Chain A
Amino acid sequence: MALIAMETGRFHEKYSEEIAVYGTPYRKIWILAVLVVTFVVIPLVASPYWLVVLTLVGIAAVGATGLNVLVGYAGQISLGHAAFAAIGAYTSGLLVSRAEAPFWVAVPVAMVAAGVFSLIFGLASLRVKGLYLAIATLAAQYIVQWILTSWTWITGGFQGIVIFEPIQIGPFDTTTPMGKYLMVFISLALVVVFVENLMRSRSGRAMIAVRDQDIAAAGSAVSPLHYKLLAFFISSAIAGLSGVLYGYNAGLVSTEVFTLALSVQYLAMILVGGLGSIPGSILGAGFITMLPLWLRDLLPAVGIELSASVEVHLLTLLFGVAILLFLVLEPRGLYGLFRNIKDYFRMWPFSY
């Protein structure tokens, strides 16, 4: 068995083979397996409860993948991604409910709106880096929250609630858990393919170049301004999509959804999952989304009963501990951990 798993002795004969995502037969099988499990096995066997949980994971994974484009690949930072998600959610929600636009118009418009809005704060990335940029994007968070709560003529009244009309095409219906699950995971698959392709071609390479050495990038005819803004746009448009998906999943959005806590959770997801890694974004989204569920289900199972308020605070504490542990012990995150384990078994029984 071990012999088959080895990747030595495989020589590429064409450049096209080298840039292929499924470069080895094993990767092909893996990708196929993930697709089959996601779109065939889980819909067939999962209980409605698990469909709901996985849908939430998927929505978070879309947002985290978007943020990873900006933070992991382009090396910028954003504490305002919940705000960009809010722009997406409200734009599509209002377009559908007020202007009666079909969803296939409203969703792309919402994504572009979220992207364009983020450019205002992306401009700050030209001047400031790191902590200062984090604070500039924090402004996005508070501006959007303020607009949503104060300008009631936009959101229309009490707590800015906007209702999302469900999408119904033939048997596909987003009022059912199955419909929601499929909607979210088809979107996630599209986002993953887009980002993966982006990162193995010209634009993605330029983003990584700006992250690693912006001076040398400029010396190679790459405009740092252009690619920082592009990263902000793409990242926030994807975050906007995540907001839209949230809206369709919950049936409505309110001002209380897209808070700073959500922005921080997105960051936690990619830190725990792995910066600059798409599988990492998804693993991190799963970890952070399911942590409260495990806490709620596992602690009573071992005989510890906590009051609700303690549970909430314990959760915040655990987020912090998880981020710290990963930063110190495995900066490449869950995906790095996975790679280490894989390498161990590939080399087995030798240590290297």
Chain B
Amino acid sequence: MDPSSPTLEITGVTLHFGGLTVLSDVSMAAGAGEITALIGPNGAGKSSLVNCVTGFYRPQKGAITLFGRETTGLPAHRVAGLGVARTFQHIELFQGLSVIDNLMLGRHRHLKGGALANGVFYGRSRREELRQRAAVEDIVDFLDMPHIRNTPVGLLPYGLQKRVDLGRALAQEPRLLILDEPMAGMNVEEKEDMARYILELRQESAISVVLIEHDMGVVMDISDRVSVLDFGRFIAQGPPDEVRADPAVIAAYIGAPAEAATGEAAAR
């Protein structure tokens, strides 16, 4: 892909819920093959922005371009069909299905054959199922979960459910992977595993990643670019080192001396 055309481009997106402005005139870009972190205090609008990108929310103003094609207003399943996969902040797995079946559902867009072929099964449908099953097993191996492959996900502990959620997104073979707090509620060890999976992914494929995360250590370590959202607008965008030193970011996260804060407000 042409490196000059970003995987994801958001221009001037504004989103209201009734009288509440969640995002106001937000613009950002995520480069091809890069890990772009999206950070900000709780309620800053990070998940809302992701929901706009993935088609779950429809912004009132602005445009979203994915892989050079405008997708504003497309329904979620169409956006996913273009090769955008996401994980969810609050795990949204198919509780009654096994790990394998959750991942197979992720393969949905790669499977061919309609209901009639599925009902007859023997022949094309069966071949397809077996071929995609092999692809799913690769992901099971990659995420180190062969021992739980037939367990219904409802029975798994939280950390593993998060991993299955990632697995389902990977099963889609996305060009853009959006991770909404993949490490929330995890211990250090689980976070390290997750970070390793993300880095390994980037190394092995041309995948672009947008990562929402609260753990600053992880964000600064693995991201190529960081965008900081506060009260529905970006206050800083750039490489991790620059963003870390940005006074506006420090003010948003840990507060600022009174005069600095008022000076910042005046500058805005």
A residues neighboring B (CB under 8 Å): 15-16, 19, 194-195, 197-198, 200-206, 208-209, 212-213, 215-224, 230, 234
Contacts and interface: CB of A to CB of B under 8 A. Distances in A.
A16 B118 CA distance: 15
Interface stretch (B24-32, B102-110, B189-197, B201-209): B102-110
A208 B97 contact: yes
Given A221-B108, A223-B77, A212 B95 contact: yes
Interface of B: 54-56, 75-78, 80-81, 85-86, 88, 92-97, 101, 104-106, 108-109, 111, 113-115, 118-121, 125-126, 128-130, 133-134, 137, 168, 172
Contacts of B56: 215, 218-219
A219 B80 contact: yes
B137 A15 contact: yes
A108 to B, nearest CB: 12
A155 to B, nearest CB: 31
B80 A216 contact: no
A161 B121 CA distance: 39
27 contacts: A15-B133, A15-B134, A19-B130, A195-B119, A197-B118, A198-B115, A198-B119, A200-B121, A202-B108, A202-B125, A202-B128, A203-B119, A204-B118, A205-B105, A205-B108, A206-B105, A206-B108, A208-B97, A212-B94, A215-B88, A217-B94, A220-B77, A220-B80, A220-B85, A222-B77, A223-B75, A234-B115
Contacts of B128: 201-202
A15 B128 CA distance: 12
A209 B86 contact: no
Contact of B96 (A15, A212, A223): A212
A99 B72 CA distance: 51
B77 A209 contact: no
Given A197-B119, A198-B119, A217 B130 contact: no
Given A197-B120, A234-B115, A218 B97 contact: no
Given A216-B88, A218-B56, A209 B105 contact: yes
A98 to B, nearest CB: 29
B94 A221 contact: no
A218 B76 contact: yes
Given A202-B125, A213-B93, A234-B115, A220 B133 contact: no
A220 B134 contact: no
Nearest to A213: B92
Given A198-B115, A202-B118, A219-B88, 9 more contacts: A16-B126, A19-B129, A201-B128, A202-B111, A202-B129, A208-B96, A212-B96, A215-B56, A218-B75
A221 B118 contact: no
B167 to A, nearest CB: 12
Contacts of A212: 93-97
Contact of B121 (A197, A221, A223): A197
Contacts of B133: 15, 19
A175 to B, nearest CB: 31
A222 B108 contact: yes
A203 B105 CA distance: 10
Q: Chain A at the B interface: mostly helix, strand, loop or mixed?
A: helix
A19 B129 CA distance: 9
Contacts of B125: 197, 201-202
Given A220-B172, A221-B172, A201 B92 contact: no
Contact of B115 (A19, A200, A213, A230): A230
A220 B102 CA distance: 10
Contacts of A206: 105, 108
A204 B88 CA distance: 23
A208 B80 contact: no
A201 B104 CA distance: 9
Contact of B77 (A15, A194, A198, A221): A221
A218 B118 contact: no
B121 A209 contact: no
Given A202-B118, A212-B96, A220 B129 contact: no
Contacts of B92: 213, 215-216, 219
A213 B94 contact: yes
Given A19-B133, A215-B56, A216-B88, A221 B109 contact: yes
Contact of B105 (A19, A197, A220, A230): A220
Nearest to B154: A212
B210 to A, nearest CB: 14
B121 A220 contact: no
Contacts of A209: 94, 97, 105
Contact of B108 (A213, A215, A220): A220
Contacts of B93: 212-213, 216
Nearest to A226: B77
A221 B115 CA distance: 16
- Which of B105, B128, B130 has the most chain A CB atoms closer than 10 A to its own CB? B105
Contacts of A230: 115
Q: Give the one of A195, A219, A222, A234 with max B CB within 10 A.
A: A219
Contact of B118 (A15, A19, A201, A213): A201
A188 to B, nearest CB: 15
B94 A202 contact: no
A320 to B, nearest CB: 28
A16 B134 CA distance: 10
